[in-house]
Amino acid sequence: MKKMSEIKNDSPNLLHSFLLFEYDDVKPSKSSDGIVTMKGIIQAAGKPNANNRIYPRPILEREDKKYQELIQERRALGELDHPDSPIVQLENVSHLVTNTSWDGEDLIGEIEVLDTPKGQILGKLVEREIKLGISSRGLGSTSRTNEGYDMVEDDFNLVCYDMVSNPSTSNAFMNLQESVAYQTLITQNRVVLLDEILNDILELD
């Protein structure tokens, strides 16, 4: 019989991790050309978060290092609210992460609000000082610790950081191997679309 610390969920799932977006010393600001920017904690290492999940620092450091390429290419995009997909949908993009840095065990992020439909909503919320959360989105598996926490395993892959209104999560999105996750998701979406088309045809008859 396995010990609690050895009980694992080996299938990669879509993992959301919520944090209240606490501004780092400075409030959101708007530049002369109207661009809204903000800075705050986007991830915390080594301690339970609102989803009862712990992210080891070495894993977060590895994923943040990989994320730097997206930041440098201005492709570190995020969405507004909780998408149930490991793919960033451009039509829902609201912001761009422009920089990350470590402060102790906290990962600090600098965010630029984009002039997109969802970005305009986010910008208005920020300007009115609505309290928002930030949620990392990624694929990975977890194991249960003796204390009852879900420890994120080494197969975790960060997708993006989303701005959210509440800490609701989507835990068990996909039970499949990561190498085929994206293709399977696309196939599932095609099946759903085909079903919708067939239903429309039947209703016309």
SS3 call for 15: strand
- Catalytic annotation on 82? yes
Exactly one of 82, 94, 95, 141 is catalytic; which is it? 82
CA distance 199 to 203: 6
Both structure tokens of 71: 């930041």
- Catalytic annotation on 5? no
Exactly one of 17, 94, 95, 135 is catalytic; which is it? 135
Q: What is the DSSP string of 106-155?
A: EEEEEEEE-SSHHHHHHHHHHHTT---EEEEEEEEEEEE-TTS-EEE-TT
Q: Give the residue among 147, 132, 21 at the shortest CA–CA distance from 80.
A: 132
Own/partner pairs, 190-195, CB within 8 angstroms, 24+ separation? none
171 with 9: CB under 8 angstroms?
Answer: no
16 with 169: CB under 8 angstroms?
Answer: yes
Enumerate the active-site residues: 82, 135
